[in-house]
Amino acid sequence: MLSIVHKVSAALATGLITSFWVATAVSELFLGPVAVVWVKTLIPYGFLILIPALAAAGGTGFKLARGKGGGVVGAKRKRMPFLAANGVLVLIPAALYLAAKAQAGDFDTSFYVLQAVELVAGAVNLTLLGLNIRDGRRLTAGHRRRKSTLAAREMSSL
């Protein structure tokens, strides 16, 4: 059960961050200011789902990894402080500031500079989350193989 909560919360968090990033890029590149205001306004509301999902993924991840510190688990554990710091110190404040600027229609140089910083920081977090997902799949690869082998044996005995 813990593993399922971890997978679902991690997938939800990664999906939300991806949707924030893509919506921002698409609205800026292909749509007008109305879409940018809409996207920038909605992203902070997404934090109401994102932050609990990240907390659940982190908490369950630490529980699943208890007693393990090196190798793939260690690599995942080392990435987490960077993910958290990037989110808390860069992405959340940037999103709140950009939402306020967008709602005021204040698309000045500081808006676009911070928008670029936010996109880079978001891409960094998505990369780190992707590496954690890859490593998590490596950790469970043997378990998935055993399950598929058992299922194949059951099917062949029918």
- CATH number of the CATH domain containing 41: 1.20.120
Q: Which are the contacts of 2, defined by CB distance < 8 A and separation ≥ 6? A: 60, 63, 64
Q: Decide which of 155 and 30 is more confident.
A: 30
In this prediction, residue 156 carries a pLDDT of: 65
Average pLDDT, whole number, for the chain?
88
pLDDT at 108: 95
Q: What is the pLDDT of residue 140?
A: 77
pLDDT of residue 138: 83
Query: What's the pLDDT score for residue 47?
Result: 95
Q: Does the pLDDT at position 32 exceed 80?
A: yes
Residue type, 126: L
| Boundaries of domain holding 89 | 2-156
Residue 60 and residue 5 in contact, taking contact as beta carbons nearer than 8 Å:
yes
Is the pLDDT confidence value at 152 over 70? no
Burial class (CB in 10 A: 0-12, 13-18, 19+), 152: exposed
pLDDT at site 53: 93
Q: What is the pTM of this model?
A: 0.80
Range of lowest pLDDT (2-6, 78-82, 132-136, 151-155): 151-155
Q: How many domains does the chain have?
A: 1
67, pLDDT greater than 90: no
Q: Is 55's pLDDT higher than 80? A: yes
